[in-house]
Amino acid sequence: MPVLRSKNFAYYLIAPAVVILIITSLYPAVFSFVLSFFNWNWGVQFDFVGARNYLDLFRSPEFWQVLYQTFLFAVVATALELLLGLGLAVVVDHLKFGAGLIRTLLLTPLMVSGIIVALMSKILLDPMLGIVNYVLNALGLPLSPFFGATSTAMGTVIMVDAWWQTAFVFIIVLAGLQSLPQEPIEAARVDGASALQSFFRVKLPMLRAVLFTVLIFRTIDTLKVFDIIFGTTGGGPQISTEVMQTLAYRKAFSFLQMSESMTIMVIFSAIVLAISLVYMRLEERLEDD
Amino acid sequence: MDHRQRAQLQRLLAYLISLAAILITLFPVVWLLTISFKTQRDAFSMPPKFIFEPIWDHYLALLDKPGFVQAFLNTVYVTALGVLIAIVIAIFASYGIHRFRFRGKKLFGVWLLMAYMLPEFLFVIPMYVLYQKIGWYDTHIGLALVYQVHSLPFAVWLIRSFFKEVPSELDDASRIDGCNHLGTLRHVFIPLAAPGIAATAILTAIWIWNELTIALSLSFSEAQTITVAVASFRGYTSIAWGPMSAASIVAILPMLIFAVFAQKYIVKGLTLGSLKG
């Protein structure tokens, strides 16, 4: 591809995108950052308070608990979705007939909005009237309060997220598997490698880049979780499923504590961007190998 | 057990696992569908009823529910608007990145990626304040614009990877034929990447249609979207399942139908972006 040097023309081409980025991301980021040093609750009062919002947050046990829960959710959900998605992709890749149809059916959850996934899970997992507890009971298994108890709520929202997003991992890893070059796999088979050996020694290393991309997407997306927690537990019981985005929402729209909400988001955005940068660096290194 | 038998057994196992996965994937949606046709008594009955007399009442009630039909139409409009803005602007931006070398190109790429990664509430609240001032709060264009934080980087990234697939000989040929830059974009890149652009538009539409966080904070009644309308049933989760299920089904259906017809494009869009980067 010849890369041309008509500099100004390129700027015209990207100008509309830059204007949109300025309005929708640069302005809000600067606004939030500035506001995090003031005290503002929607009213006329607007006082400079220095780093007090930050210090207050760092001193609050609630903030640390919510930060911990956000990471717990993200790490466990991402790991679960990667494992299930990879496993399913390997299985479906193995099939001779019907793989296309199966792929179509398994894609369904990705078409469903997070809030609907949340409400649907409330119906299925209702402790008294839900069909899941009914089936557990019929099978002689212990029932669960699901969203209703602090001990099970977090596990339940993670499970719901896995139902929703495993398909994303599955579809991409499956495409990755299907586009692998056949020679090394064939060579391993001729050398007498078993299916398992061929998977771990040959296919998995070749899938590294694809898996890494999926890992980045799922990590960032699960850190930013909102819909399914908002729609199921709303952060409860107590604050056992509260995460950064639901906390920011509650502070801003229920308690009108704008500055506090913005401070939370500034810290959280810094964390998310730092993680993305680390991942991108690692990905570059991975591609260099 | 010889080699062939073992291979057959493995295949059988693969089908069983796939079947279980399909069951787990589809059952919740099918169950939601049955509940939307059940009376309150049937929905709450224990043991659960698999055979029942279907009723349409919950769907008919939606027609009378203030704002629900409006919310559906709003979503169609906002989705179309959001996709249009994202695709048009992304085509130019992708062409710029793909074909030219310029100062700040890397910065532009990083900025797009960062915007995509930002958590919603970082930009939603400042946009709320801005929109209250300029009168864009609870408007279609206001929503469609804020969706660009996510949709525009996504579209640029995907369309660019589809442009990379265009053979460079065609590009050269068009220039020899005397096409200028915009002519080459129009006569070579856009037609050849058309399936990819369609895939990008479809994925963007699905994302906007299903989005809740931004719509919840920046729309209220005039521009309220379907996800916000469905979210308003949240309080009913332990009281009335019927209306909530019917509303959910109405919100899902367009995307499911979409998925059946555009499945090829959806898979293409999802996978090309991640496989080629």
Distance from C-alpha of A147 to C-alpha of A158, rounded to nearest angstrom: 11
* Confidence bin at A1 (pLDDT 50/70/90): very low
Is A95–B15 a contact, with Cβ atoms under 8 angstroms apart? Answer: yes
Structure tokens at A138: 């019929």
Residues B122, B29: one domain? no
Taking contacts as CB-CB distances below 8 angstroms, the residues of chain A near B126 are 27-28, 31-32, 35
- Phi then psi for residue B100, to 5 deg, are -125, 155
B100, β-bridge pairs: A4
Residues B178, B226: one domain? yes
- Report yes or no: A254 at the B interface, CB cutoff 8 Å: no
Q: Between these two residues, A50 and A24, which has the higher pLDDT value?
A: A24
Local mean pLDDT, 10-residue blocks, chain B (277 residues): 79 91 95 91 82 88 89 96 97 92 89 92 92 94 96 93 84 76 86 89 94 93 92 77 92 90 82 61
Topology of domain A52-288, CATH: MetI-like fold (1.10.3720)
Structural domain includes residue B203: yes
Structural domain includes residue B256: yes
Residue B89 CB neighbour total at 10 angstroms: 23
Is residue A193 scored above 70 in pLDDT?
yes
Residues B27, B129: one domain? no
Looking at residue B66, its amino acid is P
Is residue A207 scored above 70 in pLDDT?
yes
Nearest CA in chain A to B168: A1
Residues B8, B91: one domain? no
**Half-sphere exposure (Cβ direction) of B70: Cα atoms closer than 13 Å:** 11
- Report yes or no: B40 at the A interface, CB cutoff 8 Å: no
- Report yes or no: B135 at the A interface, CB cutoff 8 Å: no
Residues B16, B62: one domain? no
pLDDT of residue B276: 52
- CB B163 within 8 Å of CB B95: yes
pLDDT of residue A221: 94
Structural domain includes residue B126: yes
Q: Between these two residues, B85 and A186, which has the higher pLDDT value?
A: B85
Pairing between strand A47-48 and A38-39? antiparallel
Domain of B263, CATH number, reads 1.10.3720.10
3-state secondary structure of A241: coil
* Confidence bin at A269 (pLDDT 50/70/90): very high
pLDDT of residue A7: 60
Give chain B's domain count: 2
Interface of B with A in 226-245 (CB under 8 A): 227, 230-231, 233-234, 237-238, 241, 244-245
> What's the whole-number mean pLDDT along residues A184-209?
82
Is A113–B209 a contact, with Cβ atoms under 8 angstroms apart? Answer: yes
Q: Which of A3-7, A108-112, A203-207, B36-40 is least confident? A: A3-7
- CB A65 within 8 Å of CB A246: no
**Chain Cα centroid distance, residue A285:** 23
Structural domain includes residue B21: yes
Its domain, for residue B14, covers 3-36
Distance from C-alpha of B59 to C-alpha of B40, rounded to nearest angstrom: 14
Contacts 24+ apart (CB under 8 A), A24-27: A24/B115, A24/B123, A24/B127, A24/B145, A24/B146, A24/B148, A24/B149, A25/B111, A25/B114, A25/B115, A25/B118, A25/B123, A25/B149, A27/B126, A27/B130
Q: How far is CA A88 from CA A170, A260, B19, in A?
A: 6, 43, 11
**Interface-testing mutation among B78, B125, B267, with chain A (most A C-beta atoms within 10 A):** B125
> What's the whole-number mean pLDDT along residues A203-227?
91
Distance from C-alpha of A143 to C-alpha of A135, rounded to nearest angstrom: 9
Distance from C-alpha of B244 to C-alpha of B121, rounded to nearest angstrom: 26
CA angle at A123 for the pair A118 and A127, rounded to the nearest 5°: 110
Q: According to DSSP H, which parts of chain A are helical?
A: 7-21, 27-35, 52-59, 61-93, 99-106, 114-124, 131-138, 150-178, 182-190, 195-197, 204-206, 208-223, 227-232, 244-249, 258-288
Q: Between these two residues, A89 and B188, which has the higher pLDDT value?
A: A89
Residues B107, B21: one domain? no
pLDDT of residue A203: 85
Residues B70, B123: one domain? yes
Residues B92, B160: one domain? yes
Distance from C-alpha of B89 to C-alpha of A140, rounded to nearest angstrom: 58
Residues B68, B25: one domain? no
**Chain Cα centroid distance, residue A69:** 14
Distance from C-alpha of A268 to C-alpha of A262, rounded to nearest angstrom: 10
Interface of A with B in 20-39 (CB under 8 A): 20-21, 23-25, 27-29, 31-32, 35
> What's the whole-number mean pLDDT along residues A75-94?
94
Is residue A2 scored above 60 in pLDDT?
no
Structure tokens at B198: 């369609």
pLDDT of residue B277: 42
DSSP annotation of A127 = T
A4, β-bridge pairs: B100
- Report yes or no: A179 at the B interface, CB cutoff 8 Å: yes
Distance from C-alpha of B165 to C-alpha of B272, rounded to nearest angstrom: 10
Residue with tokens 């796999």: A185
Residues B139, B266: one domain? yes
Residues B112, B13: one domain? no
Structural domain includes residue B150: yes
Structural domain includes residue B151: yes
pLDDT of residue B6: 81
Q: Provide the residue count of chain A.
A: 289
Structural domain includes residue B119: yes
